[in-house]
Structure 1
Amino acid sequence: MLQTIRENSQGIIAKAIVGLIIVTFALFGVESLIGLANSEKAPAEVNGEEISTMDLQRGVELQRRQILSQMGENADPAAIDEVGLRRVELNRLIEQQVLLQSAQDQGLYVSEQMIDQLIVAEPAFQGEDGRFDRNQFEAVLRNQGLTPLMYRDQLRKALLTAQERGAYYLSAFATPAQAEQLALLAAQTRDIDWVRFAFDDALAEIEITPEQLQERYDAERERFMTDAQVVLSYVELNQADFADPNSVSEADLRSAYEQELVRFSAEEERRAAHILFTLDDASEADVRKLVADVRARIVAGDLSFAEAAAQYSDDPGSAAVGGDLGFNGRGVFAGPFEDTLFAMQAGELSEPVRSKFGYHLIQLDEVRATEPPSFAERKPVLQAELAASAAEANYVEALERLADLSFSSADLQVPAEELGLEIKQTEAFAQSGGASDITTNAKVLRVAFSTELLDEALNSAPVELSRERAVVVRVHEAIPARQQSLEEVRVQLDAELRQELAASRLKERTDALAEKLVQGEPLEQLVAGLQWNVADDVARDAGSMPLEVNRAAFEMPRPAGDKASIKSIAMQNGDHLLVRVRAVHTPEQVDEQLVEQLQQSLIGREANFSYGAHVQGLKASAEIERN
């Protein structure tokens, strides 16, 4: 065979092909051939510059980790919308690329020295001594899935875009006159009256005729089509069913307890109090002198430790209780603090101790030792743990068996018999979901309305509802969409029409009353038994009246002379109100500090608006191609 290959490779065509390969390697490298097989397009291009798949995957994974950490111990990765997460991250990368290109076009620059300084000054990368720790730096980055070079690149990009953003924020302005006018408006008060007309009273007066129902039904027949629904048959595998504490042997329990004893050490717990002196803007020498002075006063009896903690400690959590930290074992406090605490004798006051938080004075009040629990105390817990461990292994094995059986069976009967499971049925539900935890599960919904189950009548693969539960489903009954009759929707239509008519008539009534009140007719003569709710000198968002009343009153125009300003408004619960503003009171002057705060707020708003408009403009003018 090798001889045949050798003979055929001597021809002119073979030599020409080999020559082309050599030229390609020389000019473009081996990647030119590999790239032909892996010519996957970049996720997006911005003005001809690609956003790499690696950057997108890294960003999605980082967001995914953050979401899972926020979910806590019971985090379910399946609950994360991976498609939505990818879309959000891609949009972020596109915007970042647009802003980077804008910064580069303007010649903005970040030096390597600046990046070095920021990294060294970052507290997360510093050790107990407050200095940059290379090992700490690399460990933090590893947890985020980054290398030092990747982090530097991210930091450089962030600094570049921050320069342009900073230019907008530093150039935004607002005049003192604007801030003063806003302050005067904020301090304004009004004399307000209001009266309520209940929606329920209007609703009680409405009667709907059969003709009205038929007319609405005929006009909106398409709205009364039911959704296609399915009823599922399913078998469920639950890890909890495999847990049998009674099956755990006494020998296994004794062995587990002995292992615990080996791991357990009779650790001391120490009750201590401390006084924290932070550095803040003070020099380290000044803080050390203060700590030494306070310690000398405590030793001399001029101050008790509790009094000193209340007066000097910068730890708000313990200062109010004399610096008391309660009982704690090892592993709770930072290194130097813990080393000092566990080297002290009861009743002893430490020398000043330096930690990353500042300087501490520590007083050890009491020492107590913990004893290992007895076998009888630990037995129920160990029994449950060992049973759960065995259950997990049996559950995984059964899940694999269920997958094989459901794939090879024409129905659920065989998997149910083989694994001792009960075949159950769901309620009828649409693609929007049902009422049970199974029929609201997104993965079950996708499978239930898939072609394989609806058209081919197959069993599904096991669908994991959680880490301990899984189901295999098949369509028991498919219920097509249909037109509902008028009788089926009569109650719904009647309620809708009554609500609409009541709201319409109530609005017409209050609008008409408002017009008559503007013309000068008194409310008491227009509607017998009604009186205004009166409130004078009311501030904005005051809690002495419904919020809708207050906000409407401050949106209404000033009264013209003696003529009050009147308006009809609808509330969220359907009630309608008549609101009257009798007078507006504006203070002659306002607090200068408030004016300064409002001026800064206006500057921030202007900067946000200007920069946001700039970003939108850049994105609108950029050539963005999503693949």
Structure 2
Amino acid sequence: MLQKLRDRTSGWVATIIIALLMVPFLFVIDHSYLGGVGANNVAQVKAPPKWWEGAPGWWPVSMFWEHREVGVNEFRQRFEQERMRQRQEQGEAFDPRTFETVENKRRVLDQLIDEKALQLAAERAGVVVGDDAVREYIATIPAFQVDGKFDPNRYQLALASQVPARTPEQFQELVRESLQQSLIPLAVGTSAFVTDAEFDRIVRLSGEKRDVELALLPATPEDTAPVGDEEIKAWYDAHPADFTRPESVTIEYVEVDGSRLPAPAPADEATLRKRYDEEKARFVEPEQRLASHILVRVDAGADAAALKAAEEKAQRLAEEAKAPGADFAALAKANSEDPGSRDSGGDLGWVERGAMVAPFEEALFAMQPGEVRGPVKTDFGFHVLQLRELKQGAQVPFEQAREELAREQAQADRERAFSDLTGRLTDLVYQNPSSLAPAAEQVGLQVQKLGPFTRDDTVGIGASPEVKKAAFSEAMIQDGTASDPIELGPEHSVVVRVLEHTPEQPRPLAEVRDQVIAAIRADRREKAAIAAADALVKRLQSGEAMSAVAASVGAETAPLPGLPRGVPAPSPEANRAIFAVAAPGEGKPAAGRFSLPDGRQALFSVTAVHPGDPAELQAQQRDMLRNQFEQIDGGAAAEAYVREVRKRFEVQVEESQL
């Protein structure tokens, strides 16, 4: 039976029959088996077979197309990585709800699509990454190194701690794919070069300065012309974002303020004495030493000869000071190079631990009264020390420490009362998170209400960024549950719950009619100011002097010589406008205008152009700038390559999976 079947299905006739049978099969089979986007993918990158680059996507031969998919899990993992990166970068300013936008998701997806396109292009180009290259790259990753060398144990531990955890084989394949897709764009980027002519031209342009004359035009009169209903409706429809009611919330909250809690009862004598006994070591007067010194100063960076000479001098002074009947104060006045103590005979007064640099202190607190020691080297030079008197540390009696102990105990009691109250409130709220009233009643606090307020309002506790972050969070808005305690300050916290949420919505025309009219008149005024300024620019371009043009409208001119390219002067926009006009030529003035933040217009006339001079650069500066220009050019070339690669392939996105 099987042999008969084999005999009848052999030869070119059978091949044609099988091919014909496949045609309807291709149209009814689940496309996920043939590389379609499918239920488990967010996007797919497809390329026609290399032996038929122009194959249409609808042709049955599409089953032979090469494809790479962006899986749902892969996309979600990358999106979470981006979330963690932005949270770490922005800190407390990170808003999870703002992050969860379609734009952010598409941006992350586009990165993944680019990677899949690059991988597919690399495979079609025959790019292969060997095992040695993978191992060499992994060994250079700092996270896997100890003391600058690859450590297998660190490698295994790092892979196991990832979420999800990876085996070395899985990580090696990930590295192989990353290297494979990056080799060509990296080669494109590093192949960029800048010729001497290009370099000199860039330097002349980037270092260019211009001599400019400015004239600030008078403000245009207010527009008072009537505004028709049709114009009002057209403006309102064309600018919906300008007339929206911002998102707002109304919250209820319970505030715990330690400063408003009843003052704790004064601590009794037994409590204070117990605290004193437990912290007796704190209440000790420190040991003090009455000291003098002679300093032989040594400048920072002094050579060995200078150090030796200073040390020998300090040694001689120490021997003189140790001699019977020596006058240390007289020696200090005559020889010390410390201006702060020299005139007082080297007297440093009573010294406690921590007051002097370490070598000085170690020597001083090892001496006996009346002893002279030296030389002692510090960063200042060489010292000769004299310990004149010693005052041993003594225990401070309870009566003397009582006031401080009572103050500290009162503060501790206040903090404990605040902490206990906050803890009780939190526990009760967790038992019934859909309402704050039961918990507040049990702890004797009031439920207060605030709102509606927007993200920009600064009303009451709503001014706190942390309260706003919680109140406008998607979780609290959707669930209607209470927050964790939010700290507003020391011993001051609040628990909030969203009562009402109003999303951003357009305001009706009747409500914003006056604002629309004001916007139309402001637009008219701006256009009139620009038209008047453009007319004056034409006069400058025809050859009239700036002084004459400015005087005709009651404006004064101001010179601005040597204005560098790129500096934010008079403003970033003004600088761009000034350097956007062509350089003045014979009979061809260079003039233009720019807008000021208040809506006024300013005229400018470029009177001279001073290109940057490449000859002024040192060799090291030239090399550094050339490298920077090549990196910029290489980066642009690599980005262009990625864009072109993506254009060559067909990309399908399943929007519902985002």
Equivalent of 1:185 in 205, 208, 213: 205
Which is worse superposed, 470-479 or 609-618?
470-479
TM-score, normalised via structure 1 length: 0.60
Equivalent of 1:540 in 547, 565, 585: 565
TM-score, normalised via structure 2 length: 0.58
User: Quick one: distance in 1 between partners of 2:187 and 2:209?
Assistant: 39
For the residue of structure 1 that corresponds to 2:536, the secondary structure is helix
Alignment partner of 1:207 is 2:207: no
CA contact (8 A) 1:236 1:472 kept: no
CA contact (8 A) 1:176 1:599 kept: no
Q: Which amino acid aligns with 1:236?
A: V
Q: Deviations over 1:21-65 (max 9, x none)?
A: xxxxxxxxxxxxxxxxxx995777774466684995598369638
Deviation of the 1:610 alpha carbon: 1.4
User: Quick one: distance in 2 between partners of 1:233 and 1:155?
Assistant: 49
Equivalent of 2:532 in 506, 509, 515: 509
Alignment partner of 1:569 is 2:594: yes
- Per the alignment, residue 607 of structure 2 pairs with 582
CA contact (8 A) 2:374 2:384 kept: yes
User: Quick one: distance in 2 between partners of 1:619 and 1:371?
Assistant: 81
- Per the alignment, residue 238 of structure 1 pairs with 256
Equivalent of 1:554 in 579, 582, 598: 579
Superposed counterparts of 1:245-284, under 5 Å: 246=264
For the residue of structure 2 that corresponds to 1:441, the secondary structure is helix
Equivalent of 1:118 in 140, 159, 169: 140
Equivalent of 2:636 in 606, 609, 624: 609
Which is worse superposed, 389-398 or 143-152?
143-152
Residues 108, 301 of structure 1: CA spacing in aligned structure 2 closer, same or farther, 3 A cutoff?
farther
CA contact (8 A) 2:252 2:448 kept: yes
Which is worse superposed, 251-260 or 384-393?
251-260
CA contact (8 A) 2:433 2:481 kept: yes
CA contact (8 A) 1:99 1:161 kept: yes
Superposed counterparts of 1:45-124, under 5 Å: 47-48=67-68, 53=73, 57=77, 60=80, 64=84, 67=87, 71=91, 83=100, 106-109=127-130, 110-111=132-133, 114-115=136-137, 117-118=139-140
For the residue of structure 2 that corresponds to 1:573, the secondary structure is coil
CA contact (8 A) 2:203 2:612 kept: no
Equivalent of 1:217 in 229, 232, 239: 232
CA contact (8 A) 1:549 1:579 kept: no
User: Quick one: distance in 2 between partners of 1:113 and 1:421?
Assistant: 64
- Per the alignment, residue 420 of structure 1 pairs with 444
User: Quick one: distance in 2 between partners of 1:141 and 1:381?
Assistant: 49
User: Quick one: distance in 2 between partners of 1:185 and 1:560?
Assistant: 17
- Per the alignment, residue 518 of structure 1 pairs with 541
Deviation of the 1:495 alpha carbon: 3.2
User: Quick one: distance in 2 between partners of 1:196 and 1:563?
Assistant: 22
CA contact (8 A) 1:348 1:364 kept: yes
- Per the alignment, residue 346 of structure 2 pairs with none
User: Quick one: distance in 1 between partners of 2:109 and 2:200?
Assistant: 43
Superposed counterparts of 1:21-36, under 5 Å: none
For the residue of structure 2 that corresponds to 1:202, the secondary structure is coil
- Per the alignment, residue 215 of structure 2 pairs with 195
CA contact (8 A) 1:51 1:94 kept: no
Residues 152, 170 of structure 1: CA spacing in aligned structure 2 closer, same or farther, 3 A cutoff?
same
- Per the alignment, residue 482 of structure 2 pairs with 462
For the residue of structure 2 that corresponds to 1:610, the secondary structure is helix
Superposed counterparts of 1:373-384, under 5 Å: 377=404, 380=407, 383-384=410-411
User: Quick one: distance in 2 between partners of 1:435 and 1:122?
Assistant: 44
Q: Deviations over 1:403-433 (max 9, x none)?
A: 54564x7xx7655544433343333447x67
User: Quick one: distance in 2 between partners of 1:304 and 1:543?
Assistant: 59
Which is worse superposed, 97-106 or 608-617?
97-106
For the residue of structure 1 that corresponds to 2:203, the secondary structure is helix
Q: Which amino acid aligns with 1:207?
A: T
For the residue of structure 1 that corresponds to 2:586, the secondary structure is coil
Deviation of the 1:604 alpha carbon: 1.1
Q: Which amino acid aligns with 1:613?
A: A
Identity %: 18
Deviation of the 1:106 alpha carbon: 1.1
User: Quick one: distance in 1 between partners of 2:257 and 2:273?
Assistant: 25
Deviation of the 1:579 alpha carbon: 1.7
Q: Which amino acid aligns with 2:264?
A: N
User: Quick one: distance in 1 between partners of 2:421 and 2:150?
Assistant: 49
Deviation of the 1:113 alpha carbon: 5.4
For the residue of structure 2 that corresponds to 1:172, the secondary structure is coil
Alignment partner of 1:399 is 2:426: yes
Residues 549, 448 of structure 1: CA spacing in aligned structure 2 closer, same or farther, 3 A cutoff?
closer
- Per the alignment, residue 17 of structure 1 pairs with none
Q: Which amino acid aligns with 1:573?
A: D
Deviation of the 1:167 alpha carbon: 1.9
User: Quick one: distance in 2 between partners of 1:172 and 1:304?
Assistant: 64
Residues 179, 398 of structure 1: CA spacing in aligned structure 2 closer, same or farther, 3 A cutoff?
same
User: Quick one: distance in 2 between partners of 1:139 and 1:263?
Assistant: 45
CA contact (8 A) 2:217 2:600 kept: yes
CA contact (8 A) 1:125 1:134 kept: no
Which is worse superposed, 419-428 or 45-54?
45-54
Q: Which amino acid aligns with 2:534?
A: D
Q: Deviations over 1:192-219 (max 9, x none)?
A: 2221113xx3134x3243xx16454344
Q: Deviations over 1:378-405 (max 9, x none)?
A: 6645654564355334323322323545
Residues 261, 122 of structure 1: CA spacing in aligned structure 2 closer, same or farther, 3 A cutoff?
farther
Deviation of the 1:584 alpha carbon: 3.3
Deviation of the 1:177 alpha carbon: 0.5
User: Quick one: distance in 1 between partners of 2:113 and 2:509?
Assistant: 48
Q: Which amino acid aligns with 1:114?
A: E
User: Quick one: distance in 2 between partners of 1:134 and 1:370?
Assistant: 55
RMSD of equivalent CA atoms:
6.4
User: Quick one: distance in 2 between partners of 1:48 and 1:551?
Assistant: 44
For the residue of structure 2 that corresponds to 1:590, the secondary structure is helix
CA contact (8 A) 2:205 2:612 kept: no
Residues 566, 59 of structure 1: CA spacing in aligned structure 2 closer, same or farther, 3 A cutoff?
closer
Residues 516, 474 of structure 1: CA spacing in aligned structure 2 closer, same or farther, 3 A cutoff?
closer
* Structure 1: runs of 5+ lacking an equivalent: 1-38, 269-274, 278-290, 306-326, 352-359, 453-459
- Per the alignment, residue 24 of structure 1 pairs with none
Q: Deviations over 1:100-123 (max 9, x none)?
A: 66667511345465257536x779
